[in-house]
Amino acid sequence: MKSQWWKKSVVYQIYPKSFYDSNGDGVGDLKGVIQKLDYLKGLGIDVIWLSPVYQSPMDDNGYDISNYQAIAEEFGSMEDMDRLIIEAEKRDIKIIMDLVVNHTSDEHPWFLESKRDLHNPKRDWYIWKNGKEDGTPPNNWRSIFGGSCWEYDEQTNQYYLHVFSKKQPDLNWENPQVRNEVYKMIRWWMDKGLSGFRVDAITFIKKREDYSDIVSNSFDGLSPIADVSLNQDGIHQFLMELNEKAFSPYDILTVAEAPGVTSKELPKYVGENGYFNMLFEFDHVDLDLGKEGKWYQPNNWNLLQFKTAISTSQNIYNELGWGALYLENHDQPRSLNKFIKPDGISTTSAKMLATVYFLLKGTPFIYQGQEIGMTNVSYESIEEYNDLASIDQYQSALKEGYSIEEALAAIWKRSRDNARTPMQWNDTRNAGFTTSDPWLKVNCNYTSINVENSIENRDSIYYFYKELIHLRKSSEYSDVIVFGKYQALLENHPEIIAYYREFKNKKILIIANFEDEEIKAELDLSVKKIILTNYKNASTNLKDLTLRPYEAIVYEID
Ligand code: GLC
Ligand code: CA
């Protein structure tokens, strides 16, 4: 029987390139992570999810791996990685890594061999197809980062498939040799003392097998590959095997990035014999995304939709499985900018957001900088952006007739670089992230928003997160926060989110106002105690409650 230790954990995600630069080359690194372990220990987290540090040409900042068993030079060495695991362990912190096995880099030796000739033993390790009779790509599928998902190779006169960039060719999971090689690699890392994996883009590993065109209504004649390569029939066999051969021998945390999985399918993914312990859902963070995921045609959304997205999965987790609770990661803009109106962004609203997601049923994830309230950036021109997706979205917007200003405004809102700006440690040059020029420009608000200020100021967002972690890990409310049943309240209230959690004889109520004005609520419940609030005090009259702007309160109730 496994301990399921991850149920009680709080995970902190590190995007190594932007976390802390120990040697002044402008790029964050593993030694930098080691130097900041005490900071993380102080915050109270107990698991680090490290975004990829494997050897990579860095086309997609490490999500394009050219050697799974080596560390990228700019991040350090395998010795540094081993030391990180040991130093973290000394502080009771576990490390999980990103597992990127939908694709490799086009510079991975497997691909270099596969590409060599039609009869190479590794030819079938990737997905190669002939073009159409007129020489155009095999079909009209559009890759996630724009353009055809097929790249022509002159030498063998065939195309290879890439769901993401052309430097990220997809592995052919239909080939059992590929799968076995992947499992072997996973076990190699496990034996090094890793505590699990965040499993990248895993719902893409099975493609629709006829590889035919799909109807397109788009300016480029293409159609999103997601429709034919996300969570397709037959994927279950691969995932079952992955679990059996690579994960199940170990007592580890596995969290899958799993777009395309509907709530009906959650049992298969995270149920009792599920493929993973938990998965990242997208509904609640992608509310603002328009059709086909175009950033420049955003969706108007409201709080009721957010509440529905949360409740749908929480209700399932009452019965089976486990939630992965998050508002931010390296692919998402900062949560303050997404969920709060520009004028409302403040310490108070940041604490409100924290309260709302952190006390749901599941394991909370904090993305670096979220704990100090870091926000989006607005670079003046597209040249200053690094993110592949931003550059593609910008160009598509221009092709579809939007102006430069409009295209840029969409990037400001949605760019993945919003979350990738260097971590703001203090108010010295470049936010104390590096002693030279950082690889991506620091957000100019670092003089006020930074770790040093946050630690000096008792009222900061940082201390609020620390308090939430403390409540969850070591207070009389730990059990109800970790294991309690979720129940939504005020489901049709358009401005307030409320739910309670219940375990044995304990009940806690979480209530929060998403507006920057006073809002009334009425609940037929009685207060035993105020546990936490983002104001100095809180009302105890739930029957006639007026919540102040962005007020959030956690109560113990009868
Ligand atoms: C995942 C990662 C993202 C990356 C993509 C391709 O979505 O989170 O950063 O670009 O996979 O590996
Ligand atoms: Ca460095």
Q: What is the pLDDT of residues 287-305, one digit of tens each?
A: 999 878 899 999 999 999 9
Whether 350 shows a pLDDT value over 80: the answer reads: yes
What confidence score (pLDDT) does residue 272 get? 86
Q: 371-387 burial, b for 16+ CB within 10 Å, e for fewer?
A: bbbbbbbebeebeebbb
Q: At what angle do helices 347-358 and 461-474 cross, to 10 degrees?
A: 20
Regarding the beta carbon of 392 and ligand 1, being less than 6 Å apart is answered: no
Of the residues 21, 60, 170, 200, only one is catalytic, namely 200
Q: Which two tokens stand for residue 395?
A: 């160009």
Question: CA 554, CA 349: separation in Å to the nearest integer?
Answer: 15
Ligand 1 contact via 60 beta carbon (within 6 Å): yes
- State the pLDDT at residue 80: 98
Q: Which long-range contacts (CB under 8 A, 24 or more apart) does 34-42 make?
A: 34/80, 34/83, 34/84, 34/87, 37/87, 37/88, 37/91, 37/93, 38/91, 39/451, 40/12, 40/91, 40/93, 41/91, 41/92, 41/93, 42/466
Mutate to test the pocket of ligand 1, among 164, 279, 281 (most ligand atoms within 8 A of CB): 164
What whole-number distance in Å separates Cα of residue 324 and Cα of residue 10? 10
CA 238 to CA 326: how far, in whole Å?
27
DSSP state of 245: I
Question: pLDDT tens, 351-381?
Answer: 999 999 999 999 999 999 999 999 999 999 9
Amino acid at 510: I
How far separated are the first and last CA of the chain, in Å rounded?
35
C-alpha 32 to ligand 2 mean position (Å) = 7
In ligand 1, the atom with minimum distance to the C-alpha of 163 is 6
Helix %, strand %, coil % of the chain (to 5): 35, 20, 45
Protein residue whose Cα sits closest to atom 3 of ligand 1: 331
Q: Which atom of ligand 1 is nearest to the CA of 165?
A: 6
Average pLDDT over the chain reads 97
Question: Ligand 1: does its nearest atom lie under 6 Å from the Cβ of 200?
Answer: yes
Would you state the pLDDT for residue 1?
63
What residues have a C-beta under 5 A from ligand 2, the ion?
A: 21, 23, 25, 27, 29
* Contact of 226 with 259, CB cutoff 8 Å: yes
Average pLDDT of the residues in 9-18: 98
Q: Is the CB of 164 under 6 A from ligand 1?
A: yes
CA distance 229 to 96: 27
Measured from the alpha carbon of residue 27, the closest ligand is 2
Give 109-140 pLDDT, tens digit per residue: 999 999 999 999 999 999 999 999 999 999 99
Owner of token pair 């979480």: 510
Which ligand sits closest to the CA of 31? 2
530, containing H or E segment: strand 527-533
Q: How far is the CA of 312 from the centre of ligand 2 (A)?
A: 43
Closest among 154, 172, 258, 180 to 211, alpha carbons compared: 172
The bound ligand whose nearest atom lies closest to the alpha carbon of 332 is 1
Angle between helix 404-414 and 388-399 (nearest 10):
150
Provide the edge-to-edge strand list for the sheet that holds 196-199. 278-280, 253-257, 196-199, 94-99, 47-50, 11-14, 363-367, 324-325
User: Per-residue pLDDT tens for 450-507?
Assistant: 999 999 999 999 999 999 999 999 999 999 999 999 999 999 999 999 999 999 999 9
Instruction: Among the bound ligands, name the one nearest to the CA of residue 17.
Output: 2
Ligand 2 mean position to 21 CA, how many Å?
4
CA 63 to ligand 1 center in whole angstroms? 6
Residue of minimum CA distance from atom 12 in ligand 1: 63
- Is residue 392 predicted with pLDDT exceeding 90? yes
Given this model, what pLDDT does residue 217 score? 86
Q: Please provide the size of the chain in residues.
A: 558
Residue nearest to atom 4 of ligand 1 (CA): 63
Tokens at 373, concatenated:
């309230």
pLDDT one-digit tens code per residue, 163-198: 999 999 999 999 999 999 999 999 999 999 999 999
CB-CB contact of 335 with 370 (8 Å): yes
**Which of 324, 325, 283 minimizes the C-alpha distance to 305?**
283
How remote is the CA of residue 22 from the centroid of ligand 2, in Å? Answer: 5
Nearest CA to ligand 1 atom 2: 200
Q: Separation of 140 CA from ligand 1 center, angstroms?
A: 22
Instruction: Give the H/E segment covering residue 152.
Output: strand 150-153
The H or E element that residue 305 is part of is helix 303-319
Task: Give the number of the atom of ligand 1 that is nearest the alpha carbon of residue 64.
Answer: 12
Question: Ligand 1 in contact with 63 (CB < 6 A)?
Answer: yes
Q: Measured between alpha carbons, how far is residue 392 from residues 139, 142, 165, 293, 415 in Å?
A: 20, 12, 10, 12, 11
Amino acid at 260: G
**Nearest ligand 1 atom to alpha carbon 164:** 6
Query: Directed axis angle between helix 235-242 and helix 176-190, to 10°?
Result: 30
Report the separation in Å between the CA atom of 17 and the middle of ligand 2, taken as the mean of its atom positions: 8
- Burial tier of 208 (Cβ tally within 10 Å: 0-12, 13-18, 19+): middle
| Interatomic CA distance for residues 428 and 450, integer angstroms | 10
- pLDDT value for 218: 87
CA of 138 to the centre of ligand 1 (A): 24
Return d(Cα 497, Cα 487) in angstroms, integer: 12
Q: Is 209 a catalytic residue?
A: no
Residue 46: is it exposed, middle or buried by C-beta count within 10 angstroms (0-12/13-18/19+)?
A: buried
Confidence class for position 263, pLDDT limits 50, 70, 90: confident
Residue 101 Cα to ligand 1 midpoint, Å, equals 11
Residue 544 CB partners (closer than 8 Å, separation 6+): 520, 522
Ligand 1 pocket test target in 330, 331, 388, 417 with most atoms within 8 Å of CB: 331
Beta bridge partners of 54: 71
Q: Which of 289, 142, 321 is nearest to 227 (CA)?
A: 142
Mean pLDDT throughout 204-213?
95
Pick from 200, 387, 392 the residue to mutate for probing ligand 1's pocket: most ligand atoms within 8 Å of its CB. 200
Which atom belonging to ligand 1 lies closest to the Cα atom of 145? Answer: 10
Q: Is 550 in the pocket of ligand 1 (CB under 6 A)?
A: no
Nearest ligand to the CA of 25 is: 2
Residue 144 in contact with ligand 1 by CB distance below 6 A = no
Cα→Cα distances 142→126, 132, 137, 391, Å: 18, 16, 11, 15
DSSP of 426-464, one letter per residue? -SSGGGGT-SS--SSPPPGGGGTSSHHHHHH-TTSHHHH
Catalytic-residue membership of 257: yes
Q: Is 99 in the pocket of ligand 1 (CB under 6 A)?
A: no
What ligand is nearest to the CA atom of residue 18?
2
Catalytic residue among 98, 257, 417, 515: 257
Question: Under DSSP, is residue 98 helix (H, G, I), strand (E, B) or coil?
Answer: strand
pLDDT in tens, 41-81: 999 999 999 999 999 999 999 999 999 999 999 999 999 99
Question: Hey, is 287 helix, strand or coil?
Answer: coil
pLDDT at 245 over 90: yes
**C-beta of residue 527 within 8 angstroms of C-beta of residue 556:** yes
- In the reported structure, the alpha carbon of residue 92 is separated from the centroid of ligand 2 by a whole-number distance in angstroms of 25
pLDDT at 236 over 70: yes
Give me the percent of the chain exceeding a pLDDT of 90. Answer: 97
